[in-house]
Amino acid sequence: MSGVGESGVSGNDGERNDNELIVGIDLGTTNSLVAWFGPDGPVVLRDESGDPIVPSVVTYRQGETVVGRAALALAIEHPNTTLWSIKRLMGRGFADLGPAERAALPYVVAAGERGLAKVEVDGRLVGPEEVSALILRELKARAERRIGRPVAKAVITVPAYFDDAQRQATRLAGKLAGLEVVRIVNEPTAAALAYGLDRTKDGVIAVFDLGGGTFDVSILELREGIFRVRATAGDTRLGGDDFDQKLVARLLDRAPAAAVVDASLRQAVKQAAERAKIALSECDSVQWGVVDERRGVEIDDTITRAEFEALIEPEVARALACCRRALADAELAPADLRAVVLVGGSTRVPLVRRRVEEAFRRKPYIGLDPELVVALGAAVQADILRGGARDLLLLDVIPLSLGLETYGGAAAKVLMRNTPIPAQASDTFTTHVANQTAIDLHVVQGERELVKDCRSLGRFRLRGLPPLQAGMVRVDVQFLVDENGVLTVHAKERFTGIEAAIEVVPSYGLTDVEVARMVDESFRFARQDFEAHQRIDLENECKTMLAATRAVLAVGNHGLDEAAREEIAAAERAVGALLGGNGAVRELKAVYDRYVTATVPLAGIVMSEVAQAAIGGKTVEQVLASQPTGYAETTPKPPALEVGAAGTVVLDRVRIGAKVDAADGGNCGALGEGFRAAPAPRMEKVVGKLDWKDTEEIGIRLFERQPKVDPLTVRFTELHRQICALDGFVGDPKKSNEKVLEAIQMAWLDEYQAAH
Amino acid sequence: MSRVLAAIDCSQCRQPLENPQRCRSCGAFQAHDPRRDHFSTLALDRSFDLDEAALERRVVQFSRDLHPDLAGGAVGGKARAVLGAAQVNEAYAVLRDRFRRGEYLLQLGGGPTAAQDKAVPDGFLEAMLDERDAVDAALAAGTEACDALAAKFTATLRGHEAVLTRAFADLTRLGDATAAETARADLRGRLRRELNVMNYHRTLARDLREGRRDKEGA
């Protein structure tokens, strides 16, 4: 529980800024999400196709990195350089990972400096923080794209059971991605915050969070708007990945002799297993397998849900043992709970739901999508830190006990697990050797009795003790843990008053030099990335403007005077000269601004023309006849399941050998996403309020109703009427045509260009 | 030993303080008062017979007053909030647990501590060995036996609490007159032995609880 000494926390102290943007990030083992607290509450930020998830997968390919769905699609082609489940390595030593755990990962895990677990990619060692940083950078870019503002701060969630080194590694990953991590929040606590928004009745709830790689259970009490964590328990090595591994092992057992279990086959089997697992949540029996076209090998299996449940029963039992411990720690019985909340994709598995219901003796509550809820809660906490919401507060706890090494290698606990933070406690220690003039204070974290079984967090020395007999010296040691979980230890000798203190930085972590190098590198990348990003956005805007103006001018002169026409032409040439180049973004911005200014008179003329145009009544009836389509339906639907003999669902076998194209989103979807359960209702703005400022969204919705509209042949008044009739529209019904035109531009640009 | 809280006013705006660490009217953090103990930290009267509902309410209210996320813009406000909230949390941990509350009250009243006086009644340790066997037997026998033994431990602990309540009330009644010093020392000795015995029973009850949990978890 300590910090690398980032400035973020104190920066929050004096200057609260309502414009300060802090996003909430759920950095998951298999999937990651980013959310923010928008004008209408917490919203998960989706990509352009409505997908909320960035798979936590990174592929290294010829010196470049690919993140998310695209990386997932490359996994079979690049099995050794596609990294998934990297969260499992965060902040852990090579020796901490058992051989079985390492064997389950298709990439090579090696020991780096000081025994830290690293991944070997193309002959060099990459830290899990660096890989996580790439995922975070992707999320950051998505947030910037969707919100339209730079993002520099984030609240990141971690499993409640993450120890200090794992939290440190997460902070570092944020730093490497150019994000100031203003708070690390426990995932279940974040989930409770998300629920707390609409369920403000006091009471105790249990949050059961089974994700891809980690399991947490937390008992939280909500009382007068304050969330108190009563107990947490969990297992950092238990999750949906383990369910997949059971299926992987089962399928590989059925492999014919000709099969060669190489990395590509492993990746294919893993992806097939994940699909089979998901299908088994809805069907009683699934036929699944892989085809290795390189060797002409097919491996097939049919598995019933009952067989699958027997395979994963031990893992589920482990999770339930944690639940009992958490209840006992909180000194509560199942009857004392008001609700049990499910979080994490793996809680979709029916056996999990059944066992939870049995253990807590009540039906679990599933009001929010278990996959989105943690990110939403992180956004709520971000809003609290920004100074927004004040009616809901969080009192988190220390996940693992903190203590000091005493004589003989025993660990004396000073602050117990589940103590609420901020926390302080003190204890008195003495010398064991006569005339000892210095004491080494070794700070440790963990539940075990011996120091060697605990995690070492740091050491410091109290010098200048009076040379007394053993046991005579009195050293008062005080532990203080702040709201970020950063531990400061202060030691003072009672008679002489000499003292020493440290803010604990884990001895385990990276050295300052290493951190500095990594931060420097990532900043360089971040600047490049940012510039490149800005440039792409600006170029796209330029192209759009050019095309639109050309289309308008192609129809006629619109009564524009000669000088105005020439200025437009000159500005167009200036823009054209810089497009596709690699000059500074600044220059492009300058010519873009000139162009925008030059076209202002034309825009005014066209707008009034369009407003007066009275053509094309037919489109009105078509529009009215078309069914309103909610945005949620535009999310790609899972393909229909093919039902084979005896009610067994037959999955397409994952193929190796077929060329996989990273850019083909559809293909990625088929591999990883094919059998995801139906998308949950969108949490975004769309289901909430819609205003004139949301022209992009309005355009999209109008386009969905009437994709064939010629924007220049539709009556403005008619479009205006349609917009006011959209679900959730709350804008002023008398608003000008300017916004309608903007909406048209957003949605019908291609049509517009094609038509002219 | 009981002490009714003197009304304290805010050092800035002079309004009476509900929370001794931070004024609710003007938001000013108050200077640290070294005389503050766990009771006064939560604005509770110093007594064993505590209104536990009031304790819970105070912790929630004061945690809000002192939450670091709401520390405001004052210089050093965040650090004060962290320390203040940590003190509230520490006070809560001590006072909500009746055994620890008793230990703390005895310490405030001048001890002795458990390390200074380990006395228990004659034959008590032998009896404890039998009790330990009873825990193992109940764990082996199953749910019903465990429930019965847990109920018995709970009744025993309630008994200790009743004794402590009376003894601490007597101690308060003696006041701090010099003439009563012998009587007070005698009473503190009795409290010490009661707490020593209670600690054994508390440990047994905890071992039973954890033993059950481990058994169910396995």
CA distances from A392 to A97, A378, A588 (A): 39, 13, 45
**Over the stretch B176-190, which tens digit does the pLDDT of each residue have?**
888 888 999 999 999
Low-confidence ranges of chain A (pLDDT < 50): 1-18, 506-509, 611, 613-646, 658-687, 756
**pLDDT for residue A315:** 93
Q: Do A482 and B216 touch (CB under 8 A)?
A: no
**Over the stretch B141-174, which tens digit does the pLDDT of each residue have?**
888 899 899 999 999 999 999 999 999 999 999 8
One domain, residues B85 and B130: no
**pLDDT for residue A59:** 92
**CA closest to A14 among chain B residues:** B73
Domain boundary among B46, B81, B96: B96
One domain, residues B135 and B210: yes
A87 has catalytic annotation: yes
The total of structural domains in chain B comes to: 2
One domain, residues B142 and B88: no
Q: Do A395 and B217 touch (CB under 8 A)?
A: no
In a domain, B109, yes or no: no
Strand partners, A463: A438
**CA closest to B209 among chain A residues:** A328
Range of the domain at B10: 1-96
In a domain, B80, yes or no: yes
Q: With beta carbons less than 8 A apart as the criterion, state whether A477 and A404 touch.
A: yes
Segment 443-462 of chain A within 8 Å of chain B by CB: none
One domain, residues B71 and B131: no
Higher pLDDT, B76 or A461: A461
Flag whether the ipTM exceeds 0.85: no
DSSP labels for A182-233? EEEEEHHHHHHHHHHTT----EEEEEEEE-SS-EEEEEEEEETTEEEEEEEE
Q: Do A483 and B82 touch (CB under 8 A)?
A: yes
Q: Where are the beta strands (DSSP E) in A547-664?
A: 642-643, 649-650, 654-656
Domain boundary among B96, B116, B135: B96
One domain, residues B136 and B213: yes
A26 has catalytic annotation: yes
**Over the stretch B47-58, which tens digit does the pLDDT of each residue have?**
999 999 999 889
In a domain, B205, yes or no: yes
In a domain, B158, yes or no: yes
**pLDDT for residue B39:** 94
**pLDDT for residue B170:** 93
Rg (CA), chain A: 29
In a domain, B195, yes or no: yes
**pLDDT for residue A613:** 47
One domain, residues B150 and B202: yes
In a domain, B75, yes or no: yes
The Cα of A222 is separated from the nearest Cα of chain B by a number of Å equal to 10
One domain, residues B76 and B132: no
To probe the interface with B, which of A332, A395, A427 has the most B CB atoms within 10 Å?
A395
Q: Which residues in chain B have their CB less than 8 angstroms from residue A320's CB?
A: 217
Instruction: Say whether pLDDT at B94 is over 80.
Output: yes
Three-state SS annotation for A128-195: HHHHHHHHHHHHHHHHHHHHCCCCCEEEEEECCCCCHHHHHHHHHHHHHCCCEEEEEEEHHHHHHHHH
One domain, residues B91 and B176: no
One domain, residues B211 and B136: yes
Which one is catalytic: A77, A144, A164, A187?
A187
**pLDDT for residue A459:** 81
Q: Which residues in chain B have their CB less than 8 angstroms from residue A419's CB?
A: 89, 93
The reply to whether A224 touches chain B by the CB within 8 Å rule is: yes
**How distant is the alpha carbon of residue A381 from its chain centre?**
15
The reply to whether A332 touches chain B by the CB within 8 Å rule is: no
One domain, residues B69 and B129: no
Q: Do B64 and A480 touch (CB under 8 A)?
A: no
Q: What CATH number does residue B39 fall under?
A: 1.10.287.110
One domain, residues B87 and B154: no
In a domain, B168, yes or no: yes
A209 has catalytic annotation: yes
**pLDDT for residue A540:** 72
In a domain, B31, yes or no: yes
Q: Where are the beta strands (DSSP E) in A482-574?
A: 487-493, 499-503
**pLDDT for residue A666:** 29
**pLDDT for residue B186:** 92
**Over the stretch B103-137, which tens digit does the pLDDT of each residue have?**
999 999 887 888 888 888 888 888 888 999 999 99
Count of positions (residues) in chain B:
218
Domains present along chain A, CATH in parentheses: 402-510 (2.60.34.10), 517-610 (1.20.1270.10), 613-634+682-755 (1.10.10.600)
One domain, residues B7 and B74: yes
